[in-house]
Structure formats: C-alpha cells, structure tokens
A and B are shown apart, each in its own frame.
Chain A
Amino acid sequence: MNELNLTVSSSPHIRAKHSTASIMQNVIIALLPALAVAGYVFGVWALALVAICIIASVVTEAVIQKLLKKPVTINDWSAVVTGVLLAFNLPVNAPWWIAVIGSVFAIAIVKHCFGGLGQNFINPALAARAFLLASWPGHMTSTAYIPLSDTVTTATPLALLKAGDLANMPSTFDLFTGINITGCIGEVSALALLLGGLYLIYKGIISWRIPIIYIVTVGIFALLVGQDPVVHIFSGGLMLGAFFMATDYASSPVTVRGQIAFAVGCGLLTMIIRLYGGYPEGVSYAILLMNVATPLIERFTRERVYGVSKKKKEVKA
C-alpha cells in the first residue's frame, strides 16, 4: 500500500490547450486591424463607442449572472467580443446611450434570456443592431455617418449604388482599404477585416466555409444581375458579417453541409435585400434570418455516421 493521493477520472486524461477564453481572445486580436482603421477613419469617438459597448456588455453579463446566481463568466471574453462587434455595427455619430442600450439588449435579452453563452439562437450583436435600427432609425442610418475627409454626412457606397449615383462612387482602392469610405465603425475596411478573418481561419477558430462561400455567393449573384461584384463584396458589412458574424458558433450550423447551405443562404438573402429590399444593406438581416434557420438546416445536413450507410457501401467480400 502506498500514500499516493491519486486523481481518478474518466478518460481522456489530456486535453487540447485552447479554451473558450483563448478562442474569444483570438477573435478580438482578429478585430484589431479593423479597430485601428476605425480609429483612423472616424476618430476618437469611434474608439470611445467601442469602449462603451465593451464595458456595458461585460457589466451587463456580470450583473445578470449575479442576479441569476450563476457563476460569473466574464473572464471567458465572450461579452467583450459581443461588445466590439456591436460597436462595429454602429455609426460613429451614435450617442453613448445607444451603445449602452444596444449592449444591454444584446447580452441581457439575446444572450441570457436564452440560456447564456452558446445558447443564443441569433447573433447578439446583430440582433441588437436590428433592435436599435428599428427603434432609433435616425441615430442608426446614413445621417449619422461621417467620413474622415469630410465633416458633412454622406451616403454609404451601397446607398449610392441603390440610388444609382455611380458618379460619387469611391474607387475600388478606397473601398478595399476603407480610408475614404463611410459606414458603420467596423465595416469600412475590407482589407483590415480580411486580415482578421484570415487570421481566424489560420488559427483554426473558424472554418473557411461560411465566410468564403458567403462572399463568393454574393459575387456570383452580382455578376448574374450585371452589377459590379467588387463593389458588392468590398462594401457594406459583408466582410465583417461573413468573417465575424455569420461564423458565430452559437447561431450557425456545426455540420459541414449545413455550413455550406447556411453560407449560400446568407449570400442570396444579402443580395436580395440589397437589390430588391427597402434597405441598401442586407448583411445583418440575411445573417439573422439564416440564424433562425440553423436548427432546421442542421437537422437536414447531419453527416452519415460511419458504418450506417446505404447498403451499397457494405462489403460483399
């Protein structure tokens, strides 16, 4: 007999190093380039809005978990990600209370009313954006956009496209870098978002399927209706939506074929809303609609289980 104090637990006895927190931290790292561009294009207030959203989100999460007598999990960084993403979906002229109300709505209603992390059936930041847009359209639409080179509000590229005002359309280079573009805080620079998105794919945090298929679907749709795919791909919230919103784990399918269907659906809905809907921009509603369809998509795209096959594949041997 010996005096060893041994832990007995069920296998496996080793685990991968990553954690929920490390994944969330990587998402934040991936959002930093876009944050830098936001600060450069829109100035300090844009960064202040991001800070307000982060603080409001984290505080809301902590308060709710305290009230519900659940363990407080703000150190998993997920509320920070929601805060940044919500801020990225606000126009720079949004007042501070819009940021606060949006954050509280995202965390309290969309996330915790449905069971907290991983249980929200739609993307909290996008749902909050939709809520704000419906409640305070004046604070949330084009009148609130101010680009760097100007102090007067101007229309977003997609609004120009919608209005047929191609003369004032920014150059492709500007669209790609986001330097002279107007729009929500985090959506203007396709380049910065692409960098962040590729980082997430490289790190294995998101699969390439949803963002790439989403973007390609938008491009093909634009080509088919005779519009410039480059404008559609690089403008509006497509890059932000495709890499950071549509890939939200909780509200997108876990199956391979499901992710493909989800991405194609997002692409089609985005273009249908952009071209035929009342709004110039369709990304957020497209993703929200597909979020709602996710459980259904998953049910129909379950993978064939090993050995449970069509009889054909069995061995005759």
Chain B
Amino acid sequence: MVMKFKHITFKGGIHPPYRKESTAEVPLGFGVKPDTVTLPMSLHIGAQCTPIVKKGDQVFLGQRIGEPNGFVSVPVHASVSGKVMVVEERPHPNGDRVMAVVIESDGSDTVDPSIKPYGSLEAMNADAIKKMVLNAGIVGLGGATFPTHVKLTVPPDKKVDCVILNGAECEPYLTADHHLMLAYPEKVVMGLKIAMKAVGVQKGFIGVEDNKADAIEALVKAIGNDNSMEVYSLVTKYPQGAEKQLITAVTGREVPSGGLPADAGVVVLNVGTAAQIAESMATGMPLYKRLLTCTGDAIKNPRTLEIRIGVALQSVIDQCGGVTKDPGKVIMGGPMMGIAQFTTDVPVIKATSGILCITKETAEIAHPSNCIRCGKCVTVCPISLQPLYLAQYSQRNKWEKCEAINAMDCIECGSCSYICPAKIMLVSSIRVAKREIIAQRRKGN
C-alpha cells in the first residue's frame, strides 16, 4: 500500500483567510430540479459550439444540443428533458453575450435513449477513452474548462510519465472539491486510472492541501493496495492548486516558460474532472451537473451543492436561503481568481466552482496609492516575477519592457494584488500587458 505524505510546496505564495469552515462542515446538498436551464454554446475554453436544436424542439436529458467546432471544443448537452424555448444570445458569466439554448424542463428528466454505459475500463483502449471524454463534454472543472480530451492527447514529441490530479482547492471559501473527494473518493481514483490509461502512463498522483486531512484519508483508502497511485499532502498555501505550482510540488519539475505541463512530462486534471470521467464511463451520461460552493458573508445558508449546468446563479443563491443583506459583489469562482458578475441572471457553467456573494464592506477595496517598493509582491510571486515593475511598465504602455521581464509567464494568481499594502491593481496591469503583447505578436506574424 502506498500512502506517501510528503509535505511539499512551492516558492512564494500567500495565506489569505480561507473561510472554508462555513461550507466544509455543512453536508453536501443537491439542487432542486430546475424549471428552465440556459445553456450557452460556450461552456469551455475554445471554439464555441453551433446549436443543433431550434425553438420548439423536444430534447432529452443528456442529449447533444451544441455541436463542437474544431479540436479544442466539446459538445453541449441538455441538462434537463423538455422543450426548447428559445435559441438566442444571453449574458454569459465571462461578461460577454453568447448564443444559448434555453430549455423549459418537463420535470421528467427523461434520459436520451441513445445513452448507454461504456462498460469496463479493460474493454476500452486509449482512443476510445478520449472519444468518450470528448462526447461526454468533459472539460477541466477546476475553473479553466480546457477540453479534457485535448489534455489526454499528448503530442507525440512529448514524453509524459504521470498524471496528477489537482485536489488542492487553494481558493479561499470554496469547498466543492473537498466535498467531492469526501463523497466520491472511488470515482476520483477510478477517473485517475482511466486518465492514466488514456495517456499511457503507469504513475498517478493526487495532490491535496493538508487542510483537508479527511479527504486525503478517504482517497488513500480508495486507492487501497494499488501501487500505481499516490496521494500527496501539500502545504496549505495559495496558489498551491495552480497547475505549475502543483507540478513543481509533486514532481520537483518546472514547466518551461511558454510550455505546457506535457513539457514537464505531466498531465494535470482536476479531481472533479476525474470523477466526471469515471461517472461518464459508468453511466454513459455527459457532464450536465457539477459541485459548486455558494458562499460568502452575504449568503444566508452557505453550502456546497450539486447543481445542473444552465441553472441561473440567482436560483442557486435562492436555494441557499438568499442573500442576507445587499451583496456588493457576486463572483463566479473564488475570491482570488473569480469573475465579478454584473447580474445574477447568468447560468452556472462548467467553470462555476463557486458563487461568492460578499457584502459591500467586504468587497470594498481602498484606492491605490504610491508604490512604496516594499517588495512584498516580489516575495509572494510564485513565478519569481517583479510585479511592481511589470505594473509600472504596463501603466506607461511599455509592452516590450514588460515582455523582457517575463510578463507572459504570469499565471494571474493575484497574490501580488492581494499582498500590496498600497492596494495597487498589480495583476490587472500585468493582464493588460499580456493582452497587448499577444496582440502585437499576432500583428507581427
């Protein structure tokens, strides 16, 4: 039996208040059956889907309603059975308006008759697994929503020797992965096995922050005597769950600048993604629901829930008792990297790991003042950048200088902005610089 408890981590990082207790200790909840769902044709990173249903169509639960475009794209599935109300542009949590299929549920949840379990892992080869993952619409559930079948398809020139599951969940407030690992440890482990087979490697790791000792225990138990998998206990520190930081903590390797995890010999998946792979293989069902944490000091009954994709944020908030006071900010995701919403009338998408409602007081951020060069941003940067200079150059539109001091290596974790005593929007300035650099590179080509 292998249960290695290495106490490992990365350089830099911060210790924000975690505020996970209020939802970690509440039992996992299950969302009510929705009346309607809004399914944007962009539930993932990559090309948008084309809707293949029209107003008035009857659809089954799990039926494909959006056809992927290109390799880096996955299909969209109906998360209820019922009637298509409308196909039109709707607000998307990323701030855009995106073509979406709105379905009114008939309440029966009649499953698409073509859906069948895939059978055993032994019966499937790597290509069959990847095809299954694509057809099930599986994307990275940590929040990046990168299509998983692309990750599992390692380019022939790269040599990958292990799959790492990310169970760090370093974002404050969120406990969705924690609940998932506690409730379905065997699915997580099974998903890892499937991913290992798809990638063709003999070694799998699961990295979990040490503030989730119960989850580590559950996973170790689920692995049992299988020597091919190990659970690593990671130091609780933000951004421990950032892909590069996790890889370095677990393997000691670094992802080369501009490279992918595969360049470090690794494929990284979120624990939720792995559990979904196992679920889809066992049932044949696509990804149509996920765990998310609805929390924050403006939420009456914060908790982690299983919610279908396409349910409005407002409906989830209502299922958690609604808001206690006027929320100043509603964030999709965690407080460090989540996206602030201008309306709660947007749907839960595959990236929605959390809905955070915070009061005006909590949301208030003081105006930026002069940089005092305290160097704290340099100390906390997990990539060893110098955020203070990147931000200075960015504010003066000196994009070449930003590029010269490695702006493109920024992982946008926000640790610099968090720690800055002068409240300077460091990571925002760096993001602007990155966008400009990319735009100029395109122009150059």
Contacts and interface: CB of A to CB of B under 8 A. Distances in A.
Contact residues of B: prevailing secondary structure: loop
Q: What size tier do the contact residues of chain A reach?
A: 35 or more
A5 interface: yes
Nearest to B426: A12
B439 interface: no
A238 to B, nearest CB: 23
A16 B420 CA distance: 7
Nearest to A303: B384
B116 interface: no
Nearest to A10: B428
A315 interface: yes
A206 B331 CA distance: 34
Given A16-B418, A254-B373, A307-B409, A8 B342 contact: yes
A9 interface: yes
A303 to B, nearest CB: 4
A19 B367 CA distance: 11
Contacts of B422: 19-20, 118
B372 A315 contact: no
Contacts, number: 179
Nearest to A309: B254
Contacts of B414: 11-12
Given A6-B341, A20-B421, A250-B372, A15 B256 contact: no
Q: Which of A13, A19, A302, A304 has the most CB of B within 10 A?
A: A13
A305 B264 CA distance: 16
Contacts of A309: 254, 256
A13 B363 contact: yes
Interface stretch (B102-110, B145-153, B375-383): B375-383
A7 B264 contact: no
A15 B339 CA distance: 15
Contacts of A308: 256-257, 406, 409
Interface stretch (B129-137, B220-228, B321-329): B321-329
B371 interface: yes
Given A1-B345, A4-B327, A19-B423, A305 B257 contact: yes
B417 interface: yes
A317 interface: yes
Contact of B244 (A4, A307, A315): A307
A15 B17 CA distance: 10
A23 B406 CA distance: 29
Contacts of B17: 14
A141 interface: no
A185 to B, nearest CB: 25
Given A11-B337, A12-B414, A315-B263, A307 B369 contact: no
A255 interface: yes
B385 interface: yes
Interface in A263-315: 302-309, 313-315
B256 A314 contact: yes
B341 A16 contact: no
Contacts of B365: 9, 13, 15
Nearest to A18: B421
A20 B427 contact: no
A254 B388 contact: yes
B370 interface: yes
Interface in B317-370: 326-331, 335-345, 356, 358, 360, 362-363, 365-366, 369-370
A206 B65 CA distance: 58
Given A249-B372, A250-B373, A308-B406, A11 B344 contact: no
B233 interface: no
B386 interface: yes
A287 B286 CA distance: 66
Interface in A189-207: none
A10 B418 CA distance: 12
Contacts of B326: 4-5
* Interface-centre pick from A10, A23, A119, A253 (highest chain B CB count, 10 A): A10
Given A305-B384, A306-B409, A8 B372 contact: no
A168 interface: no
A254 B387 CA distance: 11
Interface string A153-190: 00000000000000000000000000000000000000
Given A250-B373, A254-B373, A14 B336 contact: yes
Contacts of B358: 13
Contact of A16 (B256, B338, B421): B421
Given A2-B314, A308-B409, A315 B384 contact: no
A176 B289 CA distance: 68
Contacts of A78: 372
B300 interface: no
A227 interface: no
Interface string B246-262: 00100001111111000
B425 interface: yes
A306 B372 contact: no
18 contacts: A1-B345, A7-B329, A10-B428, A11-B338, A11-B414, A12-B336, A13-B363, A20-B372, A20-B422, A73-B370, A76-B369, A119-B370, A305-B409, A306-B254, A307-B255, A307-B383, A308-B256, A317-B160
Given A306-B255, A308-B256, 9 more contacts: A7-B363, A255-B386, A307-B244, A307-B255, A307-B259, A309-B254, A309-B256, A313-B254, A314-B254
Q: Ordered nearest first, which 4 A-B pairs have the shortest CB separation?
A: A317-B265, A254-B375, A12-B414, A307-B257
Interface of B: 14, 16-17, 95, 159-161, 172, 244, 248, 253-259, 263-265, 314, 326-331, 335-345, 356, 358, 360, 362-363, 365-366, 369-375, 378, 382-386, 388, 405-406, 409, 414, 417-423, 425, 427-428, 431
